[in-house]
Copies of this chain bind each other. A is one copy, B any other.
Amino acid sequence: MRALKYAILGLLNRESMTGYELSKVFNHELKEFWYASHSQIYPELKKLNEEGEVTFDVQISGDILETKRYTITESGRNDFIKWLYKDETIQKTPKDPFRLRMYFAHHLDCKARIHLLENQKMQHTKRLNSLNKTMEQYPEVPNVETDRFGDFLVLRGAIMREEQTINWLNECMSYCESAIEKI
């Protein structure tokens, strides 16, 4: 599948970047649907270069610090566009360790369960707030032809995902609470 390959090609297709810059993008703008650490990015760039998908120029920052600025090649661009059009089977539902825990939750007393749920809710709420903050940059739907449109779509998706998760957590808590009241 090599999703990382296409993620990198897609970004380089916007503009030439260094490995370090790619790394920052993965851990900020893209982090709601893809991410990679520098220990994955540097080897992948090396491989893409060997495959002729990207080239690089060595530049000097300051006095001696070398940086490699990578640029997508024609072949890389073709591969990227081909990948973009591919219809795909939906992925398996992603693994979720918290849901695994809740699946076995009847071994916990209700209080412990609610505590775990509250903890999750707090963290998801934090994430949602931060996403909503980012959304303020988009007072209206960006033009479909710009790359800001893609940003906007996945940001909307991330917000909806967090809201839905919080709804689920609330529902779980209310079930547990109504069980306590029955006693």
Give A residues with C-beta under 8 Å from B.
Answer: 1, 3, 6-7, 10, 13, 30-35, 80-81, 83-85, 87-108, 110, 112, 115-116, 119-120, 123-124, 127, 141, 143-147, 149-151, 153-154, 156-158, 160-161, 163-164, 167-168, 171-172, 175-176, 179
Contact = CB atoms under 8 A, between A and B. Distances in A.
Contacts of A103: 10, 30, 33, 150-151, 153-154
A93 B123 contact: no
12 contacts: A7-B100, A10-B104, A30-B100, A33-B103, A84-B107, A90-B127, A91-B96, A102-B150, A103-B150, A156-B172, A160-B167, A164-B164
Q: Chain copies in the assembly?
A: 2
A134 to B, nearest CB: 13
A144 B91 contact: no
A106 B146 contact: yes
A158 B179 CA distance: 22
Nearest to A115: B87
A51 B176 CA distance: 35
Contacts of A116: 87
A144 B31 contact: no
